[in-house]
Structure 1
Amino acid sequence: MLDIDRRTFLVGAAAAGALASFPRFAEGASGKAVDLSPVYRKITEQRRQSIERIQRWIQQPSISAQNVGIAECCELTMELLRDAGFGTVKKMKTDGHPGIFATLDAGASQTMGFYLMYDVQPVEENEWSSPPFAARLVDKADIGKVIVGRGAVNEKGPQGAFLAALHAVRAAGLKLPVNLVVVAEGEEELGSPHFSQVVWNEEVMKALATCQGVMMPSAQQSLSGTVNVALGAKGIVYVELEASGKAWGRGPREAEIHSSMAVVVDSPVWRLVQALGTLVSADGTEPMIDGLTDAVRPVSKQQKSLLDALSARWDEADWKSVFKVDRWVNDLDERAMLERYVSRPSVNIDGLYAGYIGEGSKTILPHRAFAKMDIRLVPDMTAKDVLAKLRKHLDKRGYKDIGIKNLGSYDPTDTALDARPVQTQLAVYRAAGLDPVIWPRVAGSWPGYLFTGKPLELPAGHVGLGHGSGAHAKDEYFVVEPAAGKKYLGLDGATRSFVDFLFAL
């Protein structure tokens, strides 16, 4: 999923009093001022139920890669949507795990779309300090009271805050000022290979076409309290390359053989290594796939201005500390690094496997070798075009036998700064005393291209305050109550940010 690392900013915003400074009045669907104080009181009164709702969601495992609990979590997610007031909630069959389509008709003149996901990453349970599916409340040193569990911040915690906002509005006796359309999937962590079958359904497309945009609930505050807003995300092509003696017609065909034979038998492993070497420059930093960068859109004047402002607030030393690196490629300075980070594609090896990698020695000549790779895309690149160029590049160099398995691909997303959902969330954050950091794009990926691309061409992005961390890692958490002196918001503040976003629309 898309992730702006939530530890990357040391420059804080005046957020300590943010919860208190949220606007109490907003314009409702009728155009009249609406006092939101009763809603805020209900958020506090319903905190226990909101925590339990998130815990219940986390406690239902939903590991898409292993097909663990997916069917059960789909049913639970549909139940949670109905409980939050959605009148239409449908399971959408796909060629993989099912999706969900839901609508809430508030009788409003405007409609807003939201994207949810109910699947999570696999876990290594022995690495966790608290069981990953226990969803325990834990006092985390210097952070506060948090819910620890797989999916806590990615994305069941923020999504739980979004649903809590709907419960609070209804409990306060108010009507939502906008209608809602929700599309959800259970394959985001697989690269959303079948989500298009949900979005491109005729009924779903008709509903989405009425929306101002599609937003994903998120916890966008860093440890410093700074809130990050991204106008786009890179796309991704994730593939597995395979070299084998059987496909090549050289080397061992069916099984590993004694390594003494390497003097007279070709090696599929070296063949894969040599093929990989053609994909990048000698130092591994520049893509060399034929024609890969031809469609890259130049950085605009507005984006350069945003990068200047971002660079002035960005803490380079903190990023290096977080990621445990000493220097950037080509020893770039921080401003040049940021521009490259948001605007250039990359070719990365995620993993290599061949033969024996256990303890001790085993002298063999393997018959197969694998590499998992991701290629990050920027506008105006497309996943389909990149896959074709990768195949053509290898074929041209005599590697027609190298297999390419597409494990998940997204096109990049791009939303204008002046888009209404973006301007609305910026206004909400500023009203709360926050000074958002605007990213032209981040290097993570999500299936937002289905909304920003044709035929819908809608604004899309992430929205929501609060803090959490550990996505895809051990001890993933979402903050319920911040520690004293912290500038990020807890569950109440995150819930309140969704209320204000909806009413500000």
Structure 2
Amino acid sequence: MARRLKLGLAGLAAVAALAGHPAAASEKADRANVAAAIRADHDAAVERLRAWIKLPTIANMGLNHKEGAEYMRQLALDAGFQVAKVIPTDGVPGVFATLDAGARTTLAIYFMYDVKHYDPKEWSSPPLEGRMVDRPGEGRVIVGRGAVNQKGPETAFLTALKAFKASGIKLPVNLVLVAEGEEEIASPHFPQVISNPEVLAAMKKAVGVIIPSAGQSVDGQVTLELGAKGAVELQLISSGEKWGKGPTKDIHSSLMANVDSPAWHLIKALNTLVGDDGHTPAIDGWFENVKPLTERQKQLIAADVAAGNEADEKKSLGIKQWYAGEDYLTAAYRLASQPTVNIQGLVSGYMGPGGKTVLPGRAEAKIDLRLVPDMTKDEAVTKLKAHLAKRGFGDIEVNVSGGYGPTQTDENSALIKAEQATLAAAKISQTMSARSAGSWPGVIFTGPPLSLPAGSFGAGRGGGAHAPDEWFLIDSTNPKELGFDQQAGLFADFLYEVARSGKAKP
């Protein structure tokens, strides 16, 4: 068994001193008891994570919608939430839970319980097994779909709550939990969960919202993200039926000589969406409402780049250069500031081994759009449709399956200050990022009617999200990286910090 680090709640006196506000003796004792309970729960917690990995909820495949929601509800109750309910929507249900600790401050937590689909043939071990393997230089990790995105960090957070419960110690804050099973398809029905009157009333009491994360780099650094791009998931479909040209079914490829091709029709349409570089969006009016990076945001990005490792990042991505051969800092500015039009996949005709001489009657492009302030989902979709229609591609179906706008949180908010203080107390190196290029539905919290600060928080480490052999660090051998117990302990530390820095809301 790999050596477990003695960080987080284990070093209580040091933590209190570093935080600049020595804890009362009773709080130190409580936190020591919570730390002991986390350690005692280690093996059981890993088994809970493994059991959760074995139950994948996959929104776009209709897999385990009800089962995933009920499982999430029970996990909340087991962790100490007094009330947990499944909230129906027009799609996949959500989960809402509350924990009243009698505290003056309430924190909201966002979970996703869905995962991306997977191809077992691409994995070194079965993707739902949750196998423990050694990762050289880092320690023992659990491999499985959802291990780091997001079931591992979420299990660590719930483990912290279970430790309070097992110790008979009240949490320093009240909690409101909202969870969804459609994050991986851009949260099409999550607004229905939040707009539920009971959920909305509880959320309005919160001082902020976090999604648990495991974002440490290999050298132990954590980047606090102050925002995230918005995302729109859609499909562009070209068919002989809608076009009025070409076949309504697959026909012999020899007929390409005198029959129109819906597949080439789609390709021609796709080619208008980007410039000649195959990269820069060319949709009419696409950059009209794009808000440039502020000087402060550029400073944050530059500091984050200076603390990063370009070679390691390129290696992890499997690339040799950034777009147009740009330097690391310029590429980082572009990553944060440029909205994108991306082709996830192309589907048409025969997709099996070898060839099959057909002229397809249908072609589909799976597209995602990434949005930056001050763009909106509705604006992006409207402009895309108008762009296609103007160029003679109005017959191409635009099926939007989900989406939301970008999110941004003030670095001076109490939530971000609590995150910074918690990491500083644990001696974890940190930077801030102006905006994540990835997306999550944070705008549902930062936008009206809630207008709350929101962001991810956590240490720990993992990788392979959306990819084969997804993994999450359990027992760390690297003193700079937090293992599972220490990540759970950091979440407990964070709750105390929120209690100190947060303000009560009526």
User: TM-score surpassing 0.5?
Assistant: yes
Report the more deviating stretch, 272-281 or 258-267.
Answer: 258-267
Offset at residue 200 of structure 1 (A): 0.9
Contact 2:186 2:232 in 1 (8 A): no
3-state SS, counterpart of residue 370 of structure 2: strand
Aligned match for 2:433, one of 429, 435, 439: 439
Alignment of 1:110-149 (within 5 A): 110-149=105-144
Alignment of 1:63-142 (within 5 A): 63-142=58-137
1:492 counterpart residue number: 485
Do 2:5 and 2:483's aligned partners in 1 also have CA atoms closer than 8 Å? no
2:149 corresponds in structure 1 to: 154
Provide the TM-score with structure 2 as the length reference: 0.92
Q: Does the alignment pair 1:407 with 2:395?
A: no
Residue among 361, 369, 388 paired with 2:355: 361
Query: 1:110 offset after TM fit, Å?
Result: 0.7
Deviation for aligned residue 1:63: 2.5
| 1:200-244 deviation digits (Å, cap 9, x = unpaired) | 111111111110111001112122211121111111112111111
> Does the 8 Å CA contact 1:27/1:504 hold for their aligned counterparts?
no
Q: Which deviates further from its counterpart, 48-57 or 443-452?
A: 48-57
C-alpha distance in 1 between matches for 2:75 and 2:252: 58
1:303 matched residue in structure 2 = 297
Flag structure 1 segments of 5+ consecutive residues without an equivalent: 1-14
Distance 1:360 1:123 in 2: 23
CA distance in 2, matches of 1:72, 1:240: 28
Shift, 1:142, TM fit: 3.1
State the partner residue of 1:204.
199
Give the 3-state SS of the residue equivalent to 2:133 in structure 1.
strand
Write 1 or 2 for the structure with the bigger share of helix. 2
The 3-state SS of whatever aligns with 1:62 is: coil
Q: Are the aligned partners of 2:84 and 2:98 in contact in 1 as well (CA < 8 Å)?
A: yes
In structure 2, the residue corresponding to 1:34 is in which secondary structure? helix
For residues 62 and 46 of structure 1, what CA distance do their matches in structure 2 show?
Answer: 26
**1:412 CA displacement:** 0.8
What one-letter code is carried by the residue in structure 2 that aligns with 1:417? Answer: E
Which residue number in structure 2 is paired with residue 10 of structure 1? none
Go from structure 1 to structure 2 and tell me whether the alpha carbon gap of 1:392 and 1:359 turns closer, same or farther (over 3 Å shift): same
Q: What CA distance in whole angstroms lies between the structure 1 residues aligned with 2:240 and 2:366?
A: 19
Instruction: Give 1:221's match in structure 2, choosing from 212, 216, 222.
Output: 216
Shift of 1:74: 1.8
Aligned-partner residue type, residue 499 of structure 1: A
Aligned counterpart for 2:170 among listed residues 175, 179, 185? 175
Partners of 1:477 and 1:341 in 2: how far apart? 25
Contact kept, 8 Å, 1:18 with 1:433, in 2: the verdict is no
Equivalent position to 1:165, from 144, 160, 174 = 160
Q: Which residue in the other structure is 2:495 paired with?
A: 502
> Cα distance 1:331–1:16, how it changes in 2: closer, same or farther (>3 A)?
farther
Contact persistence 1:410–1:445 (CA under 8 A): no
Name the CA shift for 1:359/1:52 in 2 (closer, same or farther; >3 Å). closer
Per-residue CA deviation, residues 290-349 of structure 1 (Å, 9 max, x unaligned), is 111111111112101112212211222222222122222222111111111001101111
Distance of 1:420 and 1:242 partners within structure 2: 46
| CA apart distance, 1:18 | 4.7
Relative to structure 1, is the Cα distance of residues 55 and 16 closer, same or farther in structure 2, using a 3 angstrom cutoff?
A: closer
Q: 2:15·2:426 contact (CA, 8 Å) conserved in 1? A: no
In 2, the alpha carbon distance for the partners of 1:48 and 1:17 equals 17
Amino acid at match of 2:291: R
Structure 2 Cα separation of the partners of residues 330 and 490 of structure 1: 38
3-state SS of 1:302 partner: helix
2:342 counterpart SS class: strand
C-alpha displacement of 1:278? 1.1
1:176 positional shift: 0.9
Partner of 2:420: 426
SS of structure 1 residue aligned to 2:39: helix
- For normalisation by structure 1, the TM-score amounts to 0.92
Between the aligned partners of 2:162 and 2:402, the Cα distance in structure 1 is 35
- Note the alpha carbon deviations across 1:58-101, whole angstroms, 9 max, x for none: 22232233222332222222112111111111110011111111
The reply on whether 1:47 has 2:42 as its aligned counterpart is yes
Does the Cα contact within 8 Å between 2:273 and 2:283 map onto a contact in 1?
yes
Give the secondary structure class of the aligned counterpart of 2:108: strand
Aligned to 1:232: 227
Aligned positions, number: 488
Contact 1:16 1:487 in 2 (8 A): no
Letter in 2 for 1:62: T
| Structure 1 residue matching 2:27: 3-state secondary structure | strand
Q: 1:260 to 1:132 in 2, by over 3 A?
A: closer
CA distance in 2, matches of 1:17, 1:440: 32
Higher deviation after alignment, 330-339 or 58-67: 58-67
